[in-house]
Amino acid sequence: MADPWIDAYNFAIEIAKKAGAEIRKASVDEIKISTKSSTVDLVTATDVRVEKIIIDGLKEKFGQNVYCFIGEESVSKKGACILTDEPTWIIDPVDGTTNFVHGFPFVAVSIAFVVKKELEFGVVYSCFEDKLYKGRKGQGAYCDEESIQVSDNKDINKSVIISEFGTDRTPSKVKKICSTMERILKIPVHGIRGTGTAATNMCMVACGAVEAFFEIGIHCWDVAAGAVIVQEAGGVVCDVNGGPFDLMSRRMMCANHVDIANRVIKEIEIFPSERDDGQE
């Protein structure tokens, strides 16, 4: 049976690369920074422009009113992101804006496609590394043309975990984030790392460079594509409390194996964050 979404998947790959090229071009010019919810929550004209390139490109290819969109820079400004059963693109045009502003080499375009609230495929283009990660439901995960798999290490004491500080500096949240890192280091693990972009971090799990990544405070557009890629690479994606992954919950845990996920989850100090869909 033919894949109904194959054209959408192939176009996502093409538009991600085009968006990435635009980001690379913009990075050599001076970058004017604005802030969103706080002085460390950054956005630039490039974020906005690249999202427009992606959404306009998709509308031109498939028609103006065929699909729904949830994009960090456009739809998110209007309030809650409602995910319906309709085929929906979930887009982060520049994941790792702080990195982009500084020239720190991890910046990704993240594009996911959801139908009836099920993730169908995800594309993450790490544009300074020029690595395109992709995963189509049921068809495996790839970095460029090479098949990728999660790490086969099930020993937490030999694991590397990614943990990020995020952009919320509310003291009570910072305290919990730091306390969680302390607890993980004490397990002990081989180390804690961070690239500064959720989408790239998920690809690091998918290709086996680290065993797990979790974060509270991310948005659906940061993790939707990575979730497909991790699962298709043989990994697990769930909530930070061990329950099923909830795309709108602003939190996510992914790992190479359920045992590693469960062990890390024991150490996570959860704090509340407002859902992307505005629900309680």
Question: Which CB, 88 or 159, lies closer to another protein?
Answer: 159
Tokens describing residue 130: 């020029």
Among 105, 154, 273, 277, binds another protein (CB under 8 A): 105
By CB under 8 A, residue 43 contacts another protein: no
Q: Could you tell me if 205 and 254 are in contact, meaning their C-beta atoms sit under 8 angstroms apart? A: yes
* Least distance from another protein to the Cβ atom of residue 255, Å: 14
Location of structure tokens 């994606």: 237
Q: Contact region for another protein (CB under 8 A) — 10-18, 96-104, 243-251, 263-271?
A: 96-104
d(CA 210, CA 150): 8
Per-residue contact track with another protein, 3 to 42, x per CB under 8 A? ------------------------------------xx-x
- What secondary structure letter does DSSP report for 247? T
Output b/e per residue, 180-194; b: 16+ Cβ within 10 A: bbeebeeeebbeeeb
* Least distance from another protein to the Cβ atom of residue 103, Å: 5
Q: Residues 186 to 245: which contact another protein by CB under 8 A?
A: 186, 188-196, 204, 207-210
Closest by Cα among 239, 151, 247, 162 to 196: 162
By CB under 8 A, residue 52 contacts another protein: no
Q: Contact region for another protein (CB under 8 A) — 44-52, 95-103, 216-224, 257-265?
A: 95-103
Strand-pairing partners, residue 43, are: 34
Among 34, 157, 172, 241, binds another protein (CB under 8 A): 157
- What secondary structure letter does DSSP report for 124? E
Q: Could you tell me if 161 and 189 are in contact, meaning their C-beta atoms sit under 8 angstroms apart? A: yes
Question: Which CB, 107 or 237, lies closer to another protein?
Answer: 107
d(CA 262, CA 183): 14
By CB under 8 A, residue 156 contacts another protein: no
Q: Could you tell me if 27 and 103 are in contact, meaning their C-beta atoms sit under 8 angstroms apart? A: yes
Among 185, 239, 246, 262, binds another protein (CB under 8 A): 185
What 3-state DSSP class applies to 72?
coil
d(CA 122, CA 68): 16
d(CA 280, CA 273): 10
**How many chain residues bind another protein (CB under 8 A)?**
40
Question: Which CB, 16 or 42, lies closer to another protein?
Answer: 42
Q: Residues 119 to 138: which contact another protein by CB under 8 A?
A: 129
Q: Residues in the site for another protein, rule: CB under 8 A?
A: 39-40, 42, 98-99, 101-105, 129, 151, 157-158, 160, 165, 167, 169, 171, 174-175, 178, 181-182, 185-186, 188-196, 204, 207-210
